[in-house]
Amino acid sequence: MAGRLFVISGPAGVGKGTVVKRLIERRPDLALSVSATTRSPRPGEVDGVSYYFMTDPQFDDLIANGGFLEWANVHTHRYGTPRAQVEDKLRGNSLILEIDPQGAFSVRRAMPDAVLVFIAPPSMEELRRRLVGRGTEDAADIERRMSDAQTEMAVRDRYDEVVVNNEIEDTVDRILAIINEYENR
Ligand code: 5GP
């Protein structure tokens, strides 16, 4: 049975990473797309698992060869979804793409059946608290991500579903229910 494609977006710091990790723990049959990026690995990130870390020329080559389903500039680096991987993984399972809104709308154009889910913070103040709290960005990066977050929040109504991440387990429950609902349509 072919799976369905679910795209998850939300501003940096909203908790997407944790939500996606918990979704896969609760539904191990769900496949997760591994993106390519030109940004450097953060401590603990593993090439081929967290991302495919690429140089600019490698990324350019993949664009030139039509290797991306979509790609975008996000927070000063490039990120893209390798096309072949999506086709492979979707053959048997539903697949989750955790990508930014530009990427989400490109995927919707290419694959109109894709389900777009936006994870929103309870408030912008809470988003800033979470971003500062995770301690992975410097002050300038935090400001850039807060400003990008405003832009991202402005398009959330174009998503099929919006889930406010108050409490992780509630958010995971809600998204699992959404996944079930669309898989059974
Ligand atoms: P981070 O650098 O924090 O891992 O991710 C930064 C942003 O890039 C997040 O908003 C994430 O959703 C987005 N992103 C990750 N992979 C992709 C991708 O393949 N395509 C697009 N368009 N955005 C991506």
Report domain extents, the chain.
Answer: 5-183
Percent of the chain with pLDDT over 70: 99
- What letter would DSSP give residue 184? T
Q: What mean pLDDT is predicted for residues 40-46? A: 94
- Give the mutation target among 8, 68, 79 for probing the ligand 1 site: most ligand atoms within 8 A of CB: 79
- Identify whether the C-beta of residue 9 lies closer than 8 Å to the C-beta of residue 104: yes
**How many other C-beta atoms can be found within 10 angstroms of the C-beta atom of residue 80?**
23
Query: Of all residues in the chain, what percent are helix, strand and coil, respectively (each to 5)?
Result: 45, 20, 35
- What letter would DSSP give residue 46? -
pLDDT, tens digit (0-9, with 9 covering 90-100), for 61-108: 999 999 999 999 998 899 999 999 999 999 989 999 999 999 999 999
Please give the pLDDT value at position 158. Answer: 98
pLDDT, tens digit (0-9, with 9 covering 90-100), for 115-172: 999 999 999 999 999 999 988 889 998 999 999 999 999 999 999 999 999 999 999 9
Please give the pLDDT value at position 135. Answer: 85
- CA–centroid distance for 95 within its chain: 12
55/60 Cα distance (integer angstroms): 9
CA 51 to ligand 1: nearest atom: 16
Is the shortest distance between the CB of 100 and ligand 1 below 6 Å?
yes
Q: Looking at the domain covering 5-183, what would its CATH class be?
A: alpha beta
- Identify whether the C-beta of residue 49 lies closer than 8 Å to the C-beta of residue 34: yes
Query: Which residue has its alpha carbon closest to ligand 1 atom 14?
Result: 99
- Give the mutation target among 18, 39, 52, 98 for probing the ligand 1 site: most ligand atoms within 8 A of CB: 98
Structure tokens at 42: 């953060």
